[in-house]
Structure 1
Amino acid sequence: MRGLASQLYSYFCRFKPRNVQSSSTSSLFKTKEEISMEEEAERKVGWLLKLIFAGTATAVGYQLFPYMGDNLIQQSVSLLQVKDPLFKRMGASRLARFAVDDERRLKILEMGGAEELVKMLDSAKDNKTRKEALKALSALSDSDEAAAALHRAGAVSAIRSVPDSADDQDITTYKSNLLIRFQDSRYN
């Protein structure tokens, strides 16, 4: 390895080492200068390999991640249609995390996320599922267009039908914030 590093160092630095010997006998008789040159060469080769790896990972990520966005949103909306409350909560949680800007909120609406969230909230039997549905509805309602679509999907009646929970204060907070948001006359 040291011999290879020494050769790469001489190639990159346009410097030819004076006396390169075999690695088995030369390690006993090396000067401090030769050892420091080899260590520097090994360090440079290590950085070169790290840069190659980082460049490759960046190129692969750049090619794959644009296709994952729409697929993940569609999968999350599909999770809302499953009967198991755990999967419904996972889908709602993912939608709440995806709804960070108006473009993604509208994409969720186009894929039927608003209607599925309202159905999920209507059919929820436990507080964990209600909380995740309300959290996702709250994230979606930050956009005026999305709030109007949620209002048309019947979100107000579904939100009002959610019982207040003494155990989980977040449910009451999400519920009251959503009802205040929908009281605006623009949606009526």
Structure 2
Amino acid sequence: APAWNAADNREPLATNWAARFINGGPFTGGTDFIVWRDSKVNQGPFTCPAQTGRPFWFPLGQEGLVIFDEQEHPQVPQTFPVSPQPQNASLVPFPAESQSTHVGGSSLPVPYDFGWIYMDLNTTVSAPAVNNPLDPAAAQAFVAVRMTSQGRYSVGFDAIHLDSACSAGSYTLVLLGANHTVPPGVLNHPSPAPPLP
């Protein structure tokens, strides 16, 4: 059956996620994001770190990340929305189809000990990938959160999904004013937010 015709009646996963992180206090082991992403191809196994013989799509990009502290002050790291990423990409926290990424580690540095991260995991993958004809960047994903303490206990939960790949949103967060608030309706808008006056 041709791709993107919904013949299997399954609902796709979300493309945009939000998740809290804690690096300190009772959670001395910090926070890890466990992320699955759709490379849009039927991929066989390959060695990591992938150098020679790596798939054409590796590493996967993302349309955007915004890191907030608990007072919602944002940091917007530079990201690249096309896969594979350029050689010296500044931030590639989720390059593979599945991974566990430590928040505050070298793959996902954060300027705060406590806060949350908005993740737009949409990415355009070059041929022979099968891209959604209506939105070539739409890429379903799944994000779970694991917080650990002293090697004794941990807690895990799903991140908050903000959309569905049925109506994937390539959201543009517009930061306004001194307190950098997100305009109402931006996170639930199915298309990029219009420019603000």
- Which structure is higher in RCO with an 8 Å CA cutoff and minimum separation 6? 2
Taking structure 2 as the reference length, what is the TM-score of the superposition? Answer: 0.21
Larger relative strand fraction? 2
Taking structure 1 as the reference length, what is the TM-score of the superposition? Answer: 0.21
